[in-house]
Amino acid sequence: MSKKTDLRVKRTHKMIIEAFFHLVEEKGYDCITIQDIADEAMINRATFYAHFKDKQDLYEQIFDFAINAFTSVIDTEQIIVSNRIKVKQIEFLLTHIYINIQKNKNFFLTIMDGSSNELLRKKLADIIYEKYADIFSKLKITENDIEVPIDFIIEYMTSIFIGTLHWWITSDTDMSPNHLARLVIKLVGNGHLTVLGLEIDK
């Protein structure tokens, strides 16, 4: 594929996604047809099918993009070193994620709507569990002699993350991405990470 063709393919891909967002906002996911998307993106149906199998495939690819935007924050090896959490590193990465979300607000409003919100939270929890399974497996968490299940902690952390994010993009707040990142870290960091047996580098 030539560079020119490749750019054209990417541009069409982007136009389809933007058309989809616009239509979801206008009439809701269930009411949109492939023809609607094609008309909005000014392409024909065959071009749509060259990029996506169907509407569900388009949605899932967008959803995966969102998941990747979130999980880039936990892909970094430097976040936890010898059971010490590098808070500055997390703040930097989290701020970067929130900046990206702010730039693509409509996109994330679509992803965080209704049942998709629960699916997003579940996927994130699974990824966190997978990434940190080795660290979590070495820890036996007790709080006043009550053992705290790992999946309880993960559920709790992802709920804070998704809940605060949902508030941020649906409310009229002018809170900056960095302010939100610092606030979320404070919420999760105050005691909750130390309960995990992790020391926090301020």
- pLDDT one-digit tens code per residue, 33-67: 999 999 999 999 999 999 999 998 998 888 777 77
Tell me, what's the pLDDT at 40? 95
User: Where on the phi/psi map is residue 192: left (φ > 0), alpha (ψ -120 to 50), or beta?
Assistant: alpha
Three-state secondary-structure class, residue 22: helix
pLDDT category of residue 84 using cuts at 50, 70 and 90: low
Higher pLDDT, 190 or 98: 98
Task: List, for residues 104-150, the tens digit of each pLDDT value.
Answer: 777 777 777 766 777 777 887 787 777 766 666 665 555 566 666 77
Compute the CA torsion angle 125, 126, 132, 135 (nearest 10 deg). 90
